[in-house]
Amino acid sequence: MEAALRVVRYVKAEPGLGLLMPSEDTDKLKAYCDSDWGGCLESRRSVTGYIVMFGKALVSWKSKKQDTMARRSAKAEFRSMASVVAEVTWLEGLYKELGVNITRPIQLFCDSKTAIQIAANPIFHERTKHIDID
């Protein structure tokens, strides 16, 4: 809580500051995502977080409690990946409308090998079929 108050005090004290967009390496979007598993002690729901970089500039970020409880850590991580992919898709469309070319492929970094395997395999198996329903 103290960290959040510190951020609010900083933003209030420096209203004229904005996001710095360095000129080099600015045609690449990179996304980083992570999730805890059942991190909320009251509801046992996982918390998803991600950041999106455009070159060296931070352009989007989010931390949110997931809507449903994940029974496995891979499911929580996969939902985190799905959230950041939706954001990156939207940002790519926004930059396209602004006339900015984005280099493909867009890199997505996730620390769960299982979630990456689920995302890479379009076939739903017994252990992953419920993810499509959520």
Domain that holds residue 35: 21-133
Burial profile 9-25: b = 16 or more Cβ within 10 angstroms, e = fewer: eeeeeeeeeeeeeeeee
Give the CA angle between residues 61, 30, 83 to the nearest 5°: 50
| Residue 4, in any domain of the structure | no
Percent of the chain with pLDDT over 90: 22
> pLDDT tens across 118-127, in order?
778 767 666 5
| Cβ atoms < 10 Å from Cβ of 127 | 12
Residue pair 51/61 in contact by the 8 Å Cβ criterion = yes
Report field, pTM of the whole predicted structure over 0.85: no
> pLDDT tens across 31-68, in order?
999 888 766 667 777 888 899 999 888 899 998 877 77
According to the model, what pLDDT value does residue 125 have? Answer: 62
| Residue 11, in any domain of the structure | no
Q: How confident is the model at residue 134 (pLDDT cuts 50, 70, 90)?
A: very low
Q: What CATH number does the domain containing 61 carry?
A: 3.30.420.10
